Amino acid sequence: MPDLAPTLNIKNQLHTLTTPWVMGILNATPDSFFAGSRFAQSENALRRAEQILQEGGKVIDVGGYSSRPQAEDIDAAIEKSRVLPIIELINRQFPEAILSIDTFRASVAEAALEVGANIVNDISGGNLDAQMFATVSRWQVPYILMHMRGTPQTMTQLTDYEDIIKEIMGDLQQKIQQLRALGQKDIILDIGFGFAKNIQQNFFLLKNLSLFQVFNLPILVGISRKSLIYKTLQISSEEALNGTTVLNTIALLQQARILRVHDVRAAVEAVKLVEATWQQ
C-alpha cells in the first residue's frame, strides 16, 4: 500500500496498519437491515466471532442498537443487555481478539470497555451524547469518529449540503480539535456512508475519499451491503456482496485503512489483491 501507515495503541500494544484491517460486524439486534449480520443469542454470537477471526478479521464490531433508517429507538439498558454478555463471552473465549463497541452512548461505551471492549465506534461522532468524548479520552482507547446528522430516525431528511466535502471536513476538524484538547490520541475517521447522505452523495464521497487523507488519520469505510449498492443495482441486500467488494476495492485504492463488513473473507481477499497490485 502507499506510504502512510498509521498506528493504533490497543491493549498497550502498538499496531501498525501497513496492511488494511477488516472489521467484522456482529449485530446483537433483531432488526439490522441485513439479516445475515444478526446474532442476538450468545452461542450464535460466539460462532460469528470465531468465523470473523478465522476468515482474517482483525476487529469484531459488536452493536446492540440498529442504526438503519427509521430504526426503533431503544434505551441504554436494553442496549447494554444485548452487547455486554456477548463482549464478555468473546473476551473470555478469544482473549486476543480486538473488540469494538458500536454505540453512540457514553454509558454503554464505558460499560463495554469495562468488560473487555478495546475500541469505541460512535456513529454520531459525539453528537448524541455530550459525555462521549470525555469518556473515550479518559480510557485512551481508539475512537472511531463518524460524520452523521440527526439520528437514525431523522437522518434521511438531513441530506441538504451546499458543499458536502467542505461541510463534512469542517465538522470532523472541529471534533478532532475537541478530542485532542481532551488528550485523545488515537482517532479513526469514518465519513458515514449512508448516514444523512443520499445515494448520489455517497458515490461522490467515495470517488473523493482520498481528500480526507488531509487529516493524516486512518480512514474506516463502512459501505457493506448498503442501499447505494442494492438500489443502484436493483437487487436485495442479500445479493449485494459483489457490489460491496467492488466499492471496498475503490476505497482501498484511496488508502482506506479499515473496512467494516458483513463478509470478512471477501474483504480480506480484496485487501490481499490490492496489496499485491501496489507492490508491483
Active site residue 68: no
* CATH of the domain spanning 7-278: 3.20.20.20
CA-based nearest residue to 101, from 128, 133, 148, 136: 136
pLDDT on residue 4: 56
| Tens-place pLDDT, residues 5-32 | 799 999 999 999 999 999 999 998 775 4
| Boundaries of every domain in the chain | 7-278
CA-based nearest residue to 63, from 98, 126, 115, 109: 109
Report pTM. Answer: 0.93
Q: pLDDT-derived band of residue 153, with 50, 70 and 90 as boundaries?
A: confident
Catalytic residue among 105, 225, 226, 257: 226
Give the DSSP H or E segment for 99. strand 98-102
Backbone Cα Rg of the chain = 17
Pseudo-torsion of CA 241, 242, 244, 248, nearest 10°? 130
Catalytic residue among 180, 260, 265, 272: 260
| Tens-place pLDDT, residues 246-272 | 999 999 999 999 999 999 999 999 999
Active site residue 226: yes
CA 254 – CA 164 distance, rounded (Å)? 18
Q: Is the pLDDT of residue 38 over 60?
A: no
Considering only the C-alpha atoms of the chain, give the largest distance between any 2 of them, rounded to a whole number of Å.
52
